[in-house]
Structure 1
């Protein structure tokens, strides 16, 4: 908890975006809840929160859900069939909810995360959103998101004797 508070105080990113109703921020709450349940040992609840976050807000949460699900299976924290049952029931609820809410908002039948996945991954048209140069992440995104931590890490890299060996 203390690390999360310190990390939040040192960078603008979380506080800035938490004031905007973006899918990333809405998924963040669900993913944090999933982590909490995972650490408590509530494995099926963990899967449920990850499924909701994946199907309603961010399809790329699947990249987190798969390794966690695999770990839960390999450590025998969950049974395969019970895990599948929980995930299917949660998926049906999630897709039904997002279809109803988003179809009303968009005035057409729509499942936004499926459309995103289809457009970006299957049709491979994500570049139509625009592309940035390779260095953008290092020269723009990281400096802005690590406002205080980035300069301090560079100073530590230069000044700490252990890193120069």
Structure 2
């Protein structure tokens, strides 16, 4: 048993290293960014080179359609700042993206480790390999998008949920929703129900207190930090949610049909593993013995939560793959289950 555990851990470390090399590869061959990344990219630059002289910051001249939080760029800048005197601005940006990719990978590794407890090291390792070989997840891992900052928290929160660390799950999910992507409430709602059903989350005074404290702390932190940088009182993610969900102005950037995520977006992200996900579901639905096992039931419940998120999100007319990319790791678990069963 000890030998098998050692082999499993060494394989895990090897796959994590492979994933990091792939992320670095994408950082190097794709050095430029799209307009969606411009705010965070410029914010990292301004924090490093202008520090407290906010009047020089780019966002005051080019604010964009909606205000974004400075919490993500601020965190990356803290790790990049010590190296900035020794490298060019281009290299500093590359270092910042590599740091973001490393934080993402830490979350991915934590999720794979958490999965080992329920599904075994084989599925955990297959999950890592599948994810590493998919283009979109590894590509977005180092992009300075609000979605990527949120994705880091999503991975750690999923790991906490599978480990039954419900207080940590509540904290991380609350931070992801209130500071980075408000629409993640559509993702965490089904996940919370999943956690309650499988007793990974237990309603008690400590949990309620954690939820209230996280809500108050995340909103206040965002308001105080971002109001300083934006030079007016605001809660960025509140304004973004109102713009996208209430006013539905995101549709000005184009619309796609309801079925796009299920028939085009997710298959594009999953690539060949789409067939493994389908096979896994057929196996669970058609084989009663497979369906009755606790790990399988747990995995199927996790997938239902992900499907619910994508289904509800499909009602918003403006669609981009990065909006639902948080569900891909869950589908990759299903693919890993199918692969192991062959």
The TM-score bracket by the shorter chain reads 0.7 to 0.9
User: Which of 128, 150, 155 is 1:27 aligned to?
Assistant: 150
User: Which of 99, 115, 126 is 2:239 aligned to?
Assistant: 115
Which moves more between the two structures, 43-52 or 5-14?
A: 5-14
Contact 1:24–1:58 (Cα < 8 Å) also in 2 = yes
Give how far 1:17 is off.
Answer: 1.1
User: Which of 105, 124, 133 is 2:229 aligned to?
Assistant: 105
Contact 1:10–1:146 (Cα < 8 Å) also in 2 = no
Pairwise CA RMSD: 2.9
Could you tell me how far apart the structure 2 residues matched to 1:67 and 1:28 are?
17
User: Which of 69, 87, 100 is 2:192 aligned to?
Assistant: 69
Contact 1:10–1:148 (Cα < 8 Å) also in 2 = no
Residue 214 of structure 2 aligns with which residue? 90
Per-residue CA deviation, residues 53-102 of structure 1 (Å, 9 max, x unaligned), is 11011112212322333344454842344322111111111112212232
Could you tell me how far apart the structure 1 residues matched to 2:201 and 2:145 are?
33
Contact 2:156–2:172 (Cα < 8 Å) also in 1 = yes
Larger RCO (CA within 8 A; separation ≥ 6): 1
- CA 1:39–1:127 in structure 2 vs 1: closer, same or farther (change >3 Å)? same
Per-residue CA deviation, residues 83-124 of structure 1 (Å, 9 max, x unaligned), is 221111111111122122322333332222111211222223
Q: TM-score, normalised by structure 1?
A: 0.74
Q: TM-score, normalised by structure 2?
A: 0.39
